[in-house]
Every structure is written in C-alpha cells, then in structure tokens.
Structure 1
Amino acid sequence: MKTTQINPYLNFNGKCREAMQFYKSCLGGELTMQRVAESPMSATKTSQDSNHILHSTLVSDRIVLMGSDMIGNNLQSGNSISLCMVCFSDEEINKVFSMLAEGGNVKTPLHQTFWGATHGELTDRYGFNWVFNFSKN
C-alpha cells in the first residue's frame, strides 16, 4: 500500500548540482537530476538558466531529498526550504491543498504538468511553503 509522504525540498541559487552531489557523497543513494534545458521550460528561459537544475531527487532506503535552482531571484534564508507532499489520489491532493490554502497564499493552483502530474504550490497561514504532487503512475 502506498502512503503519503512529506519530503524536504531544498532551493538553491544555481548550486543545486553541486549541493546534491555533495549530499549524495555523504548520504549515499541514487541521484537523478533534470536540467531546465531538458524540459519544455527551456523555450522561455535564458541560456544561463538552461543549465540550472529544474528538479533533482536523492533517494536511498530511508531518505528522499529533493532540490531545485528554480525559486527565482528572491532566494533568502527562510524561503529556501519547502515541504513537498507526495499524494496518492486526486481526492487527497485536492482536499489537503484546499485545507492548507485556507488563510494562506496559493502561488500555483493545482494543474496538470508536462511531467504528467497534478501539481500546485502555496504558502500556508504560518508562512511555510508547500509543494504538492500527485502522479497516477
């Protein structure tokens, strides 16, 4: 049976590849990375941005650590970590997203993505950033 997970999602200012490779050397596991240039987003980004990491995941037996360079230019201490909720049903992602959005700020409404998932982002009423993802696969 699949269970819902909440994983840390670290945002870097162009240092995602370096940092995630460092974490892999410390923690072990399998590291996957996707550059902006390898995604449909490449058409709307500068050549400098194309080498940035769109999404990375370090997975081992007990660890899931995710990271990206894609927070924008306003990266500062405090907004560089999000909680990523990996959901396992449409009902769950819609319910929890709506509940956490109450009194908060929806940054990206739930929508279908080019990677085949339902995805959304919000800041809750206490100022914490949340990323939601549900993939039917």
Structure 2
Amino acid sequence: MKKATQPYFHFDGNCREAMTFYQNLFGGKLDLMPIKDSPAKDQFQPEIHDQIMHASLENGDFMLMASDMCGMGEVKRGNNVEINLNCESEEEINHLYQQLSAGGEILNELREEFWGAKFAMLIDQFGVRWMMNYEK
C-alpha cells in the first residue's frame, strides 16, 4: 500500500464546516469538491449540489478525507467513518476487494471511476467499513 490508511469521515451537510475546523486545528492544505463541480453532478438531485462530494486535508504524512452523505442515507453511528486503502497495483486492489468482501456487504462494486482510478466500498464480515482506491 502507498501511504498509511486514512480515516474517511461522513457528515450530514456540514462537511465544509467540519473540515475547515480540522484545518484550523491541524494546519495543512484543504481541498473541497462540491457536487456541483464534479463530473458526476448529474447523478445527484439539484438540491444537494452544494454538499461536499469529496474533501481532503493534507499536512505532510497526515491526511483526513471526508464527504457529506450526498443523499446516500442519514449519518449515524456505524456509517460515519470508513478506512481508506490506497493500493499500489491492480493486483493488490483486486485481492483486497475479494478478501474483504467475502462474507460482507458490497456498497460500491470495484470499478473504474471518473477520477481515473479503480474504486470500491464495502463492509467486511466484521462490520468494518472499507474504501479502496488504485490510481493508475
């Protein structure tokens, strides 16, 4: 794997506020992508286009990532944090996807995404939520 795993937080419409707070606390560079600025904006209801589709805060090796739930249900204990794995190869992401999805629940099939990476989301057999990404 490339870097250490990163937490990925989900917020209920206040991602921008939360990540700005964390930037003030931890420092670093904050990038925010609202749905309206995403190539996938047509897949979302117009009333949530101001929500944050993806945010990242990076300061050296420290990184937090986040988004608003973006119409994918309510934020509640259990779905507000995921662990993101940045994979180094297609073989690695395929292997991790197969192993972690066995006996679990696939939330987003492993597939090519608009940002040029293979990506998947799942809940493993132990209830842990995972995201995996391989940027080609």
Do they fold alike, i.e. is TM over 0.5?
Answer: yes
Alpha-carbon distance between aligned partners in 1 of 2:2 and 2:17, rounded to the nearest angstrom:
31
For structure 2, the residue ranges without an aligned partner over 5 or more in a row are none
- 2:76 corresponds to: 76
Cα deviations across residues 92-117 of structure 1 (Å, max 9, x unaligned)? 00001111111111111110001100
Q: CA deviation at 1:45?
A: 1.8
- Identical residues among aligned pairs (%): 34
SS at match of 1:67: strand
- Correspondence 1:101 to 2:106: no
Instruction: Find the counterpart in structure 2 of residue 22 from structure 1.
Output: 21
The SS at the match of 1:37 is helix
Aligned residue for 1:40, secondary structure, equals: coil
Q: Deviations over 1:42-81 (max 9, x none)?
A: 1132222100000000001231100001362231012100
- Paired residues of 2:15 and 2:52 also in contact (CA < 8 A): yes
What is the alpha-carbon distance in structure 2 between the residues aligned to residue 19 and residue 93 of structure 1? 30
Question: Structure 1 unaligned runs (5+)?
Answer: none
Equivalent position of 1:134 in the other structure: 134
SS in 1 for 2:33: strand
- What does 1:1-137 align with in structure 2 at a 5 Å threshold? 3-70=2-69, 72-136=72-136
Q: 1:4: Cα distance to partner?
A: 4.5
CA shift for structure 1 position 27: 0.2
RMSD across aligned positions (CA): 1.3
Q: Residue 40 of structure 2 aligns to a residue in which SS?
A: helix
Q: Which residue identity does 1:54 align to in structure 2? A: M
Partners of 2:11 and 2:80 within 8 A in 1: yes
Aligned length: 135
Instruction: Classify the secondary structure of the residue corresponding to 1:119.
Output: strand
Contact 1:31 1:57 in 2 (8 A): yes
The runs of at least 4 consecutive aligned structure 1 residues that moved more than 6 Å come to none
Distance 2:4 2:60 in 1: 14
